[in-house]
Amino acid sequence: MKKTIKVGVAAIALFFSVVTASRAQSTQPKSSSDRSSIILSVGPDANLPLGDFKNGFNWSIGGSIQGDFAIVKRSLYVSVNAGYDNFYAVHNGTNLQLVPVKAGFKYFPVANLYVQALAGVSFVANKSDVGATNSAVFAYSPQVGYLIPLGGKNYLDAGAKFEGDGKFVTGGTQSNFLGLHVAYTFGL
């Protein structure tokens, strides 16, 4: 548990260091009017299991694609997200492969800082291999992040999230994890 907390604190500190450094190098801040009304992003995700979930899996690497569509003054967006996560099993067990599909909202309270809430379904791609009794479970994911301007309508999206997935095995426990997300983001 202490190791997970230390990794989480280090990840959050690194995230805010990158955000602070990028703002210091920016010649002028980007405003919401500079963002496109349609934003697409693609990038890798890295996750650390929490609670009982970490007893069976060490970590995860994956990726996701996301589309954001402005509904209120380019500060509130509807988001759709799909991805793939491979959780590496402890002690040479079978890896867990998930395909999350979620939708929700992304809100920019100031400049390029955002909060996001997604909910949907996480499909187990290798249900029979891992002995799961459910092939799909409810998933929810709050996230906070920052769009680092790269020029034009291009950004680097850096975010930290918590994700909660339902029970893959009847009578089991929920599968929760912390994640870091970095994506190349561009507006249309």
In percent, how much of the chain has pLDDT > 90?
77
**Secondary structure, 3-state, the chain:** CHHHHHHHHHHHHHHHHHHHHHHHHCCCCCCHHHCCCEEEEEEEEEEEECHHHHHCEEEEEEEEEEEEEEEECCCEEEEEEEEEEEEEECCCCCCEEEEEEEEEEEEEEECCEEEEEEEEEEEECCHHHHCCCCCEEEEEEEEEEEEEEEECCEEEEEEEEEEEECCCCCCCCCEEEEEEEEEEEEEC
33: confidence class by pLDDT, cuts 50, 70, 90: low
29: confidence class by pLDDT, cuts 50, 70, 90: very low
> What's the CATH number of domain 2-187, 3.30.465.10, 3.40.190.10, 2.40.30.10, 2.40.160.20?
2.40.160.20
What is the per-residue pLDDT for 42? 98
Q: Is pLDDT above 80 for 1?
A: no
In percent, how much of the chain has pLDDT > 70?
82
pTM of the entire predicted model: 0.81
